[in-house]
Amino acid sequence: MNEVFSITEEVHSNFINGEWKQSTSGKLIDSINPANRQVMGQVQSSTIEEANEAIEAAHNASKEWAKVGEFQRGQYLYKVAALLEENLEEIAKTLTEEMGKTYPEALGETQRGIAILKYYAAEGSRSNGDVIPASEKDALMFTKRIPLGVVGVITPWNFPVAIPIWKIAPALVYGNTVVFKPASEAAVTAAKVAKCFADAGLPSGVFNFITGSGSTVGDAIINSKYLKAITFTGSSKTGKMIAEIASKNQVKYQLEMGGKNPVIVLDDANLENAVQAVVSGAFKSTGQKCTATSRVIIQSGIYEQFRDRLVEVTKGISVGSGLDSTTWMGPCASEGQYKTVLEYIEIAKNEGATLITGGHAIDSELTPGFYVEPTIFDNVTTDMRIAQEEVFGPVIALIKAESIEDAISFANDAEYGLSASIFTTNIGNALAFIDDIEAGLVRVNAESAGVEYQAPFGGLKDSSSGSREQGQAAKEFFTVSKTVYIKAQ
Ligand SMILES: NC(=O)C1=CN([C@@H]2O[C@H](COP(=O)(O)OP(=O)(O)OC[C@H]3O[C@@H](n4cnc5c(N)ncnc54)[C@H](OP(=O)(O)O)[C@@H]3O)[C@@H](O)[C@H]2O)C=CC1
Ligand SMILES: O=C(O)CCC(=O)C(=O)O
């Protein structure tokens, strides 16, 4: 284990009721650069009282903000987008230093954040309801979307720019106020995103940012009497706990949790396209996407050929610091993630899967980070833990199937149902897959990872609470509909 040196100068505060404030706890949380194990920044370890202060500020601001009008609220988001654009490179660099993904990926994520802000800014000038024929003449009946009130936003570390923005931007434009608690492991990047919201001049209390542990600050948010909705992305364990509390308190909730995303490769697939898509889907962001490919189910006729080419391409992946332009895959995001990945590699070996490439930590004086080789297991069966549990790292399991029916049945044999892909040149096979696969995001001849902000996103089964994020689906979650009936006399 390498020593962690505390060399940081960057300390970030909370933003509550329009002011940047340090926590009265006097305690800070270190954020570690996973590429070198050094502290790269610090955030406040806030108290329950401070979380309550943020929620009360959001509650007090909510009536006025709802009256500001959607068009004006959209204009604020354009300002946030412009500020994010001004700080694009700095925020992307911080993201790489804090979370480990490569700089081009971090840049892409931050650019996506700007695009999401503009998309929801434009929502301010789109229609907000329907006119519906009334049964009586001389009467006007229409629906109008109204905000919910205070929304809690609790986010993970794997997309510390895009995920908070795809939750906060729609929450605000539809008239809600926000308390944002980011993952502690990526809170420095989140603080820089929060600064863009703070600097856009939103009325005090409309947007609040507070850092601290999930069990303190997160818990205070989800248990607050002022909370009207909670939007969460993270582990199934935390998500299920949030669902229980939210249901008890009649708080609307939206949960995006894990995945064990399968890619099916049929005998008639374009082999090279399938290989490239599996490598990208499994190993970009070091496999730390909830949509990452983690199971590859290959039809027997193409199995050996596909496997050998997949191993060949995987062996060519360069692993290193995300700031090094020759790096294709960065480190695991944290020591915890790194240990989990190495543990799963041991579990897979012990349960009889065959390690065919990777499988080791890359840790030396020269590379003192949380690096793990891109890893592939062969001869995996669906009952193995490596085929069932989310690893959230650069590890894939290869499973052999004789037919498309078997392949879909193996793919569906998991508790999760987030994203799934098939590679085939046969339209009938593609249509059967679209109908029968149990996943919220279904792709044909495209990698399993990645989402488009203008389309609904969410999973089936244990991957999600059933609601959808992004695109127009966000309106469903962040508003409620009022039906208005007006009669002339
Ligand atoms: N679907 C996805 O995109 C993601 C899935 N995961 C999966 O989850 C695993 C664990 O990751 P981890 O970061 O520990 O996930 P968590 O679910 O613990 O963390 C996600 C967010 O929830 C917060 N949180 C944690 N505990 C509570 C609580 N009791 N009340 C309220 N909020 C809480 C965290 O805060 P804090 O950071 O302060 O603990 C963080 O902001 C990963 O290995 C991966 O399998 C992880 C991240 C994203
Ligand atoms: O936004 C993406 O590209 C993928 C989202 C995802 O996989 C995640 O939320 O972890």
Instruction: Look at residue 364 and tell me whether its pLDDT is greater than 80.
Output: no
Does residue 459 belong to any structural domain of this protein?
no
Q: Which ligand minimizes its atom distance to the CA of 230?
A: 1
Does residue 458 belong to any structural domain of this protein?
no
The pLDDT value recorded for residue 9 is 52
Instruction: Look at residue 4 and tell me whether its pLDDT is greater than 60.
Output: no
Does residue 74 belong to any structural domain of this protein?
yes
Task: State whether 233 and 268 are in the same domain.
Answer: no
Instruction: Look at residue 31 and tell me whether its pLDDT is greater than 60.
Output: yes
Task: State whether 60 and 36 are in the same domain.
Answer: yes
Q: Averaged over 21-33, what is the pLDDT?
A: 97
Average predicted confidence (pLDDT) for the chain: 96
The pLDDT value recorded for residue 134 is 96
Does residue 38 belong to any structural domain of this protein?
yes
Instruction: Look at residue 6 and tell me whether its pLDDT is greater than 50.
Output: no
Strands (E), 266-366: 293-299, 354-357, 361-362
What CATH number corresponds to the domain at position 310?
3.40.309.10
Q: Averaged over 354-371, what is the pLDDT?
A: 89
Residue-wise pLDDT tens digits, 36-58: 999 999 999 999 999 999 999 99
Does residue 477 belong to any structural domain of this protein?
yes
Percent of the chain with pLDDT strictly greater than 70: 98
Task: State whether 14 and 92 are in the same domain.
Answer: yes
In ligand 2, the atom with minimum distance to the C-alpha of 457 is 5
Task: State whether 96 and 239 are in the same domain.
Answer: yes
Strands (E), 168-265: 177-181, 207-209, 227-233, 252-256, 261-265
Instruction: Look at residue 137 and tell me whether its pLDDT is greater than 80.
Output: yes
Nearest residue to 316 via CA among 325, 329, 333 = 329
Cα of 267 vs centre of ligand 1, distance in Å, is 39
Cα of 64 vs centre of ligand 1, distance in Å, is 33
Strands (E), 169-292: 177-181, 207-209, 227-233, 252-256, 261-265
Cβ of residue 149 lying under 6 Å from some atom of ligand 1: no
Instruction: Look at residue 2 and tell me whether its pLDDT is greater than 70.
Output: no
Cα of 59 vs centre of ligand 1, distance in Å, is 25
Cα of 163 vs centre of ligand 2, distance in Å, is 8
Task: State whether 248 and 270 are in the same domain.
Answer: no
Give dist(CA 407, CA 399) in Å, integer.
9
Tell me, yes or no, if 256 is annotated catalytic. Answer: yes
The pLDDT value recorded for residue 368 is 87
Query: Can you tell me the ipTM of this complex?
Result: 0.97
8 A C-beta contact, residue 10 and residue 165 = no
Token output for 369: 């980070």
Query: DSSP states of 410-477 as a string?
Result: HHH-SSEESEEEEE-S-HHHHHHHHHH---SEEEESS-S----TTS-B--EETTB-S--BSTTHHHHH
Q: Which is it for strands 28-33 and 38-44: parallel, antiparallel or unpaired?
A: antiparallel
8 A C-beta contact, residue 116 and residue 169 = yes
Cα of 195 vs centre of ligand 1, distance in Å, is 23
Cβ of residue 47 lying under 6 Å from some atom of ligand 1: no
- Left, alpha or beta for 285 (phi > 0: left; psi -120 to 50: alpha)? left
Residue-wise pLDDT tens digits, 282-310: 999 999 999 999 999 999 999 999 999 99
pLDDT band at 365 (very low <50, low <70, confident <90, very high): low
Task: State whether 409 and 470 are in the same domain.
Answer: no
Residue-wise pLDDT tens digits, 179-226: 999 999 999 999 999 999 999 999 999 999 999 999 999 999 999 999
The pLDDT value recorded for residue 5 is 37
Does residue 23 belong to any structural domain of this protein?
yes
Cβ of residue 101 lying under 6 Å from some atom of ligand 2: no
Give dist(CA 382, CA 388) in Å, integer.
7
Instruction: Look at residue 324 and tell me whether its pLDDT is greater than 70.
Output: yes
CA atoms in the 13 A half-sphere facing the CB of 77: 29
Task: State whether 281 and 406 are in the same domain.
Answer: yes
Cβ of residue 458 lying under 6 Å from some atom of ligand 1: no
What CATH number corresponds to the domain at position 124?
3.40.605.10
Give dist(CA 28, CA 46) in Å, integer.
8
3-state DSSP assignment of residue 160? coil
The pLDDT value recorded for residue 366 is 65
- The whole domain housing 139 covers 2-257+464-485
Instruction: Look at residue 8 and tell me whether its pLDDT is greater than 80.
Output: no
Cβ of residue 219 lying under 6 Å from some atom of ligand 1: yes
The pLDDT value recorded for residue 1 is 30
CA atoms in the 13 A half-sphere facing the CB of 410: 28
The pLDDT value recorded for residue 363 is 73
Task: State whether 172 and 115 are in the same domain.
Answer: yes
Does residue 457 belong to any structural domain of this protein?
no
Instruction: Look at residue 257 and tell me whether its pLDDT is greater than 60.
Output: yes
Task: State whether 87 and 119 are in the same domain.
Answer: yes
Hunting for tokens 């490919």 — which residue is that? Answer: 293
Task: State whether 245 and 308 are in the same domain.
Answer: no
Give dist(CA 401, CA 389) in Å, integer.
20
Distances (CA, A) of 483 to 125, 137, 146: 20, 17, 10
| H/E run at residue 35 | none
Q: Ligand 1 test: best mutation among 184, 215, 238, most atoms within 8 Å of CB? A: 238
Residues in the chain: 489
In ligand 1, the atom with minimum distance to the C-alpha of 256 is 1
Percent of the chain with pLDDT strictly greater than 90: 96
Atom 3 of ligand 2: nearest residue by CA position: 450
Task: State whether 9 and 90 are in the same domain.
Answer: yes
Amino acid (1-letter code) at residue 170: P
Choice among 109, 185, 256, 447 that is catalytic: 256
The pLDDT value recorded for residue 489 is 80
Residue-wise pLDDT tens digits, 155-184: 999 999 999 999 999 999 999 999 999 999
Cβ of residue 290 lying under 6 Å from some atom of ligand 2: yes
8 A C-beta contact, residue 120 and residue 169 = yes
Q: Averaged over 436-463, what is the pLDDT?
A: 97
Tally of domains within the chain: 2
Residue 180 dihedral angles phi and psi, to the nearest 5°: -110, 120
- Does the predicted TM-score (pTM) go above 0.95? yes
Residue-wise pLDDT tens digits, 445-454: 999 998 999 9
In ligand 1, the atom with minimum distance to the C-alpha of 215 is 29
Task: State whether 408 and 306 are in the same domain.
Answer: yes
